[in-house]
Structure 1
Amino acid sequence: MFKRAALLLTLMMAPLLACAQENWEEGKHYTLIEPAIRTATPGKIEVAEFFWYGCGHCYTFEPMIGQWKKTMADDVGFRGIPAQWGGSMELHAKAYYTAEALGVGETMHPMIFQAMNVDRKRLASEAEIADLFVANGVSADDFNKAFSSFGINSQVRQAASTARGAKVSGTPSMMVAGKYLISARTAGSNANMLKVVDYLVEKERAVSGS
């Protein structure tokens, strides 16, 4: 009888514990970005991920992001923002935007992650990055034209400016609506980071009345 009562109490408490766990707080689980940053997806609640291809945590987070993106509502937009703190990170940011510009992001995004985290390639030069693109079906001419173009360089500079404005200090980090910054450290885990994102998306919906 005691065991049955204990089980019943546990089942009754589970929803309450779940609600308590979902009580995400500003200043604890996420921070407010002041001033807010202009988003790049007008008319939608933008969710952005700050990442670096050489970051092992970003590599393991990537499949989770992929699954989460499949559940995005129509009023939510997503964009990746490559972080840059010197060294070859600017080259990696250029690789990201080059892949996007050439329409091969879905192919090259995971391949660059794999090259740096599994194959242990540093990709510390334009030549190394070019070889990876060519090995995955991109012509050397198309790569060279895009990689050094004014448009790609502008996007790289804008990404660096956005990260500074959001005060990003590590990867992966996420930003919602240009107003809120979430990290795995503040949220408690990568999985929780996505839960906080969902919470903040709902918060933005409530504000806009949509």
Structure 2
Amino acid sequence: MMKLYKKYQSLIKISFFIIIFLISNNCNSQNKYEILKSKIENISQNSTDNSKSSIEIIEFLSYMCHHCTAIENILNQWQSSIPADVILIKIPICSNKKSEVLQKLYLTINEINKPYLHCELFHMFAKEKKSITHIKDLNDWLISKNINVKEFLELYNSFYIQSKSNRANQLAKLCRIKGIPTFVVGGKYTTSPAIAGDEYECTINTINYLIEKIRKE
């Protein structure tokens, strides 16, 4: 009986190392990205941060995307430790009237400089299964956050936000975005959980790999 136990114990250990090897091989960052047909120039407009020489990471996302919600915390932790010349830019996209409301909401929150609200909205849509599809829903939510409804809606409905929305959609089309989240690295490469085998950590590892690849090019 003891010999049989030791035999099975050895088989379990061997199986464990095989699984670890397969996972490591599956996360080979060299196989987890695609090349854009046309290079995208840097979109950052802040001339004080040497943006032209920076490596931009553009994330296309939506509040309604399950994978965007799942990778958000991992991405925030990663962002806190990235080099100074790497810039993460988050671009909300829309495919219909419902997602257009959420896209403009995301852009307006950026403009009033309350980024913590993004986490709350991701949680609200994913965990609480709530949504904001009508103006009354938006009004109620703004009031619950002690945000001036009139001022917020003026910005939300402004030509400025509509222009940012149009540019976001044009950029998504230019990058041939088919699903979200998708990351464009250095204007040359794309990766995503779908390309990385639905592995969020592999997606981040691939972004890091592509950053170093761009530095050497």
TM-score, normalised via structure 1 length:
0.83
Query: Partner residue of 1:67?
Result: 77
Change (3 A) 1:60 1:20: closer
1:130-149 deviation line (CA, Å, top 9, x unaligned): 32233112111221111011
CA distance in 2, matches of 1:158, 1:180: 20
Query: Partner residue of 1:34?
Result: 37
Does residue 163 of structure 1 match 2:172? Answer: yes
RMSD of the TM alignment (CA)? 2.8
Does residue 98 of structure 1 match 2:98? Answer: no
Q: Is the 8 A contact 1:51 1:171 kept in 2?
A: yes
CA distance in 2, matches of 1:37, 1:134: 39
1:72-106 deviation line (CA, Å, top 9, x unaligned): 11010011111211131111110011001111122
- Secondary structure, counterpart of 1:202 in structure 2: helix
Change (3 A) 1:90 1:20: same
List runs of 5+ in structure 1 lacking aligned partners.
1-15
Change (3 A) 1:129 1:178: farther
Q: Is the 8 A contact 1:176 1:200 kept in 2?
A: yes
- Secondary structure, counterpart of 2:195 in structure 1: helix
Moved more, 89-98 or 127-136: 127-136
Q: Is the 8 A contact 1:91 1:126 kept in 2?
A: no
Query: Partner residue of 2:128?
Result: 119
1:1-29 deviation line (CA, Å, top 9, x unaligned): xxxxxxxxxxxxxxx9898666433xx41
CA distance in 1, matches of 2:141, 2:34: 37
Where in structure 1 do 4 or more consecutive aligned residues deviate above 3 Å?
16-23
CA apart distance, 1:173: 1.4
Code of the residue aligned with 1:36 in structure 2: it is K
Code of the residue aligned with 1:118 in structure 2: it is K
- Secondary structure, counterpart of 1:85 in structure 2: coil
1:109-156 deviation line (CA, Å, top 9, x unaligned): 012112211222221123322322331121112211110111111111
TM-score, normalised via structure 2 length:
0.81
- Secondary structure, counterpart of 2:140 in structure 1: helix
Q: Is the 8 A contact 1:171 1:183 kept in 2?
A: yes
CA apart distance, 1:67: 0.7
Paired-residue identity, %: 25
1:131 is matched with which residue: 140, 150, 163? Answer: 140
Q: Which has the larger radius of gyration?
A: 2
- Secondary structure, counterpart of 2:56 in structure 1: strand
Code of the residue aligned with 2:152 in structure 1: it is F
Q: Map 1:83-94; keep pairs closer than 5 Å.
A: 83-94=93-104
List runs of 5+ in structure 2 lacking aligned partners.
1-20, 45-50
Query: Partner residue of 2:63?
Result: 53
Q: Map 1:171-186; keep pairs closer than 5 Å.
A: 171-186=180-195
CA apart distance, 1:31: 1.0
Moved more, 194-203 or 179-188: 179-188
- Secondary structure, counterpart of 1:88 in structure 2: helix
2:29 is matched with which residue: 10, 24, 27? Answer: 24
Does residue 140 of structure 1 match 2:149? Answer: yes
CA apart distance, 1:39: 2.2
1:176-210 deviation line (CA, Å, top 9, x unaligned): 11211111121121111111000011111122xxx
CA distance in 2, matches of 1:140, 1:191: 39
